[in-house]
Amino acid sequence: MRKIEFFDTTLRDGEQSAGINLNTKEKLEIARQLEKYGVSIIEAGFPASSPGDFEAVKLIADTVKNSVVTGLARSIKSDIETSWEALKGGVQPHLHTFIATSPIHMQYKLNKTPEQVIEIAVESVKLAKKYFPLVQWSAEDATRSDKDFLVRIMNEVIKAGATTINIPDTVGYASPIEYGALFKYLSENVTGIEKVKLSAHCHDDLGMAVANTLAAIENGATQVEGTINGIGERAGNAALEEVAVALHIRNDYYQADSGIILKETKRTSQLVSQLTGVVIQPNKAVVGKNAFAHESGIHQDGMLKNPETYEIITPDLIGDVATELVLGKHSGRHAFFTRAAEMGFQLSDEKLNAAFVAFKKLADRKKEIAEEDLFVLLTDQQVKSGEVELYELEELVVHYENNVPTSTITVKVPSGEQVVETCAGSGAVEAIFNTLEKIVNGEVRILDYRVSSVSKGRDALGEAVINLTFNGKTSTGRNASQDVLKASARAYINAINRQLVNVHKRTSRSRSVNRCL
């Protein structure tokens, strides 16, 4: 059975999409989970793009042992050298470098002739090989490039020492038959291609990313790239969990093994969704909330007689197991710690104790604590930076006077003093945001704001996710609480705090503004 290497770019291609910004701790947490999930390669970021990215890539390369860690570099000397500094601590240092090869990109973006592009690609691969044992070279916008030009440039970069050749469908333009044919053509015409890994990287602009990836596998790809939950630029990347499950369920057809630990699928998907704030659509294949729900009477009847009548994937396969054991008010420290360990959390004693306190507080107000609640609670502890919160919510009062919602908020500000402000709004949330804007002393624009319920029932935790710009910089804040107004206020403050303590400073990305304030 041939092995397909899984190259995960959740932390690079996924993280660079609109509205997502993860701090170093969160990136490390995702990387650790990807390692458990069994991906061969983790693309941890773009080290030369910002000091924050550099720091995160370095930490991940120094920590992860069972997956190769890579970073992206343009065909620029300083990018490659900076990447080496970030990645050299890895078990097998790996660099991912690229240059555009399509006529439109070469002419308008690079302003270079095809000959110059070949020269730059060869030089950058040669330079990378001075440092890295593993060098992946990508032909950006390959699917809109001239096939014979691809053959020429690939002949040269393989000669220069590239160990993986990636053929990305950067703009999500190819159809499965075309993309498969391109792999076949290159496999048959590029000199030395059998000595290197051949990789697929697909985007979902036309909804064909996973289908294209599978077509590439059928036509010689030995590595596939994608992200968890398919997050990424624009319509996103190929969802790796879908590719892995397809290879497993249709093993009779693909005859290929992914090396992915499928039982870690649900957990990996949940973690990425929680930390990025990107909600999974309910009908999404494999990990959607409804992926295993059968509503039709005919289906339900069949399922009762034999589950295989309508169910090709079992929830069990992806680790979506319904746990009977729910914790409640009377659960003690031991039961809580055992459950946390069973769920795969490895927290320090200090963090476990803090999580237990939060659990007790919640259990006082909520009858049954579901797996989802525990997951949110424990992950929050796991990624907590331990730094002092600069702004801290102390008290929140909302009242309506003549139908006008007004909020009065007490916040501990960075100087240590308490500040109280009051503001009205056309809704309670707007009143809260208006009040907080006064307190944080800067211009805040709300780009996106969402509240969703973590588990079932009227006493469920509500999770608020807010994406805002504060004095021109973008960040995302999150908080879960039974009171959605409090969760919203805390998520807002969390977004502001992240910028002030932030390690991960990156220039703000422009994005259209959803009206909120």
Query: Given the complex with Zn ion, which of 74 and 351 has the nearer CB atom?
Result: 74
Query: Given the complex with Zn ion, which of 205 and 392 has the nearer CB atom?
Result: 205
Query: Given the complex with Zn ion, which of 13 and 373 has the nearer CB atom?
Result: 13
d(CA 138, CA 167) in angstroms, rounded, equals: 6
Q: Which residues of 308-326 are buried (b: 16+ CB within 10 A; e: fewer)?
A: eeeeebeeebbbbeeeeee
- Helix or strand (DSSP H, E) at 59: helix 51-63
Query: Given the complex with Zn ion, which of 15 and 373 has the nearer CB atom?
Result: 15
Q: How far is the CB of 512 from Zn ion (least distance, A)?
A: 22
Sorted by sequence, the CB contacts under 8 Å of residue 435 that are 6+ apart come out as 407, 408, 409, 421, 422, 423
Query: Burial of 456 by CB count in 10 Å (0-12 exposed, 13-18 middle, 19+ buried)?
Result: exposed
Query: Given the complex with Zn ion, which of 69 and 429 has the nearer CB atom?
Result: 69
Q: Is the dihedral of CA 451, 452, 455, 460 positive or negative?
A: positive
Q: How far is the CB of 140 from Zn ion (least distance, A)?
A: 9
DSSP β-bridge partners for residue 404: 401
Q: Half-sphere exposure of residue 453, counting CA atoms within 13 Å on the CB side?
A: 8
Q: How far is the CB of 237 from Zn ion (least distance, A)?
A: 6
Q: How far is the CB of 13 from Zn ion (least distance, A)?
A: 4
Q: Give residue number: closest CB to Zn ion.
A: 13
What are the residues binding Zn ion (CB under 5 A)? 13
Q: How far is the CB of 173 from Zn ion (least distance, A)?
A: 12
Q: How far is the CB of 203 from Zn ion (least distance, A)?
A: 6
Query: Given the complex with Zn ion, which of 100 and 377 has the nearer CB atom?
Result: 100
Q: How far is the CB of 28 from Zn ion (least distance, A)?
A: 22
Q: Half-sphere exposure of residue 84, counting CA atoms within 13 Å on the CB side?
A: 13
Sorted by sequence, the CB contacts under 8 Å of residue 315 that are 6+ apart come out as 292, 321, 322
| Contact (CB, 8 A) for 14 and 49 | no
Query: Given the complex with Zn ion, which of 5 and 13 has the nearer CB atom?
Result: 13
d(CA 428, CA 415) in angstroms, rounded, equals: 28
d(CA 132, CA 119) in angstroms, rounded, equals: 20
Query: Given the complex with Zn ion, which of 13 and 29 has the nearer CB atom?
Result: 13
Q: How far is the CB of 299 from Zn ion (least distance, A)?
A: 37
Cα separation values, 486 from 29, 265, 343, 395, 442, Å? 26, 32, 28, 9, 21
